[in-house]
Amino acid sequence: MEGHASMSKKIALFDMDYTIIPYDSLIPFAGYVLSREPWRFHYIFAFIPACVLYIFGIIGREGLKRAFLSVLWRMKKERVEELAKDFAQKVAIPLLFPEIMADVRRLKANGFHVILNSASPTFYVNHIGAGDFDEIVATDVVLEAQMPFLPRINGRNNRGIEKLLKMPALVPAATIARIHADYSVVSKNHSGFIPDVIPGSIAYSDSSADLPMLRMCENAVLVHPSEKLAAEGKSRGWKIVQPARPYKGSFEKYVRLCMCLVGLLRLR
């Protein structure tokens, strides 16, 4: 974390992809990189085999993410930082859901300590969240002087139970202890994991992967949840919101993302 949240403050936690922004941000980021340096289309020849390996369980999400980021191969650190900042300002921030960002600002104005907790890479998440969030937690992709073919990740991919471990100053110590005691199980399947609740807290997410974070908060808001997640949300009295998205249905979304993957569409 970039700082330590005081436990006396009310806490608001926000996922990023599909929660405050209507896409998986890695894909429009790759599309933006390709729009600036089209020859980097070569990365798709690493990403497609990695997808196959992921489908068959040979590599995990961390390996898939590293293969995806081969779009940065041999790029200098300064250039990555430049593109990350430009992407945030020109593509990602204009795509943010106005209704959700209004909630971010309202909660902050009402004294909440607002945290963006994302599985996406820190190097651009920091720029997306800098203006509105008090703290930012994300996957720490290492920026080297010249980027390797498979960028390294410092620690683990910040997803699922890892989102709690990345907030040791906030998450109840008993919850952290239970995660470490049974890490090999709960890191792979957290569906039955019930963390200790933080009073006065609220979490926003679209994904069942964030159930540990959602259950840890006294209140929660689900953004375009799946039927399964919506069912749990209704049973717990969680609010469900469906802000307008720039596509109609899953088919159009995936067509747009696939076009973005190969540099044929720059999302805006």
Residue 267 lies in a domain: no
State yes or no: pLDDT of 111 exceeds 80: yes
Task: Specify the number of domains making up the chain.
Answer: 1
Which distant-in-sequence residues (6+ apart) come within 8 Å of 176 by Cβ?
164, 165, 168
Note if the pTM is more than 0.85: yes
Are the C-beta atoms of residues 238 and 210 closer than 8 Å to each other?
Answer: no
Q: Among 9-13, 99-103, 178-182, 258-262, which is the least confidently predicted range?
A: 258-262
CATH assignment of the domain containing 165: 3.40.50.1000
In tens, the pLDDT along 229-252 reads 999 999 999 999 999 999 999 999
Residue 83 lies in a domain: yes
State yes or no: pLDDT of 74 exceeds 60: yes
Q: How far apart are CA 81 and CA 197, in angstroms?
A: 37
Residue 266 lies in a domain: no
Residue 175 lies in a domain: yes
Give the model's pLDDT for residue 265: 76
In tens, the pLDDT along 125-179 reads 999 999 899 999 999 999 999 999 999 999 999 999 999 999 999 999 999 999 9
Give the model's pLDDT for residue 267: 74
Compute the mean pLDDT over every residue in the chain, rounded to the nearest whole number: 93
Residue 5 lies in a domain: no
